[in-house]
Structure formats: structure tokens, C-alpha cells
A and B are shown apart, each in its own frame.
Chain A
Amino acid sequence: GAVVSQHPSWVICKSGTSVKIECRSLDFQATTMFWYRQFPKQSLMLMATSNEGSKATYEQGVEKDKFLINHASLTLSTLTVTSAHPEDSSFYICSASGGEPDTQYFGPGTRLTVL
């Protein structure tokens, strides 16, 4: 149980385009989903927290107009990187909680490469 999927697993795009990443909780309802970013050789950095049906809460330094988060249902959250640039290339990971209190279940990650 407690499986979280992400799609796509990897994406390559041109600079200036937008990319949408989906995060789904497959066997439980996720009241809260989190989005992280991880650069090579570094630890995960939390970008934002989203609760179903409400606006996401962004961490300091994360541009909410650039990283659009939608959490429209208890099983789906999306992260859209708008006008992507090479410096946005990173490993984006989502997690979901709700299946068991205080525990987050992570997706496999999406590797974004912006050319």
C-alpha cells in the first residue's frame, strides 16, 4: 500500500516552454502533497506544500508564478514549471501524506532537463 506515482519519469524540453508533472496517490487519499527539488549531489529541498482544494504554500525563495501547483483532488497534484530555463533542470519529487499520520510517501521522481 501507500504508492505514489509520478509522470513523466523524465522530460527534456526547450528553454521557454512549460512542463507539467503529475503526482498521484494510487491507493490512498492524500490530504497533503509536497513538492521537492533535488540538484545533483545535494539533498532534497522542499518547494511547496499543497492541501486539496486550497492554494499551495511555497517555501521562501520559490517563485509561485513560475512553479504552479494544483491539487484538485485527493489523489492528484500537478506541478507546472512555466517558461523553463536551463537552471530549472533538476530532479523533481512529490510526496503525499494522509494514508498514515505523520508519514510521507514519495513518488519516484521526474528528471527535468531544459536545453
Chain B
Amino acid sequence: DAKTTQPNSMESNEEEPVHLPCNHSTISGTDYIHWYRQLPSQGPEYVIHGLTSNVNNRMASLAIAEDRKSSTLILHRATLRDAAVYYCILPLAGGTSYGKLTFGQGTILTVHP
């Protein structure tokens, strides 16, 4: 399994951009990069995913390094509701493990008013 490494925690101020990094140096050519987040006492929420090109959606942007060994989730203007644990995950592909997600410890994002 390709492993990801994220900082344990990050802090931001409200309405400022937040860049959440993720290292995945053992990523294979077919591994997608997924980001989920979990607000307190809730199930995780899908944020964004990509393969090679940068991706944008209404929640965030995903910037993927050219060598794909790292990526950055970008929240353009953090709000208090963005305070959560953010997980960078490379789903397993192939066979009976297809799509399986392995959650690490993630990055705890604190947003200050």
C-alpha cells in the first residue's frame, strides 16, 4: 500500500487560505489521491480527489506535484466550519481491495476567529 504522511496539526485564521500538505513518495502511477475530512462527532466527508492534474471543486483545490510524490489541499478562505481532521488517502486499487481506504491520523486543522 502506498503510505501518506501529513503534519499532525495546523492552525489558520478565519478567511485566510490554508495549505494542507501530504507526502506520498511511494505512490504508483495509477494511484488516485483522495482527501476526506471529519468534523467532530460526524462521519468523514469527501473533499476532493485527483490523479495528475490539479483539481478544483466548490470545497477546495488539490495541487499535485509534477512527480506526484506530494500534494496540497487548498482551502481558499477558511471558515470556522472548516475545523476538522483532514485525511489524505490513496485508495487501494484492484481485486477485492478495490476502493478500500486506510485512514491515518490525518491533520487536525484549527481555525481561529
Q: Which residues of A contact B (CB under 8 A)?
A: 2, 4, 6, 32, 34, 36, 43-46, 49, 57, 91, 93-95, 97, 102-109, 111
Number of A-B contacts (CB under 8 A): 58
How far, in angstroms, from A63 to B103 measured CA to CA in the complex?
20
Determine whether B43 belongs to the interface, using a CB cutoff of 8 Å to chain A: yes
Contact partners of A107 in chain B: CB under 8 A: 43
A58, chain B: closest CB distance, angstroms: 11
* Secondary structure class of chain A's binding surface, majority of residues: strand
CB atoms of B44 and A44 under 8 A apart: yes
Interface of B is mostly: loop
B17 close to chain A: CB less than 8 A = no
10 contacts between A and B (CB under 8 A): A32-B98, A43-B104, A44-B38, A46-B102, A49-B97, A94-B43, A95-B101, A102-B32, A105-B46, A106-B36
Query: Which residues B19-35 have CB closer than 8 A to chain A?
Result: 32, 34
Do A109 and B106 form a contact, CB below 8 Å, given A46-B101, A104-B99? no
Q: Are A46 and B46 in contact, CB atoms less than 8 angstroms apart?
A: no
Q: Please tell me if the beta carbons of B96 and A57 are within 8 angstroms of each other in the complex.
A: yes
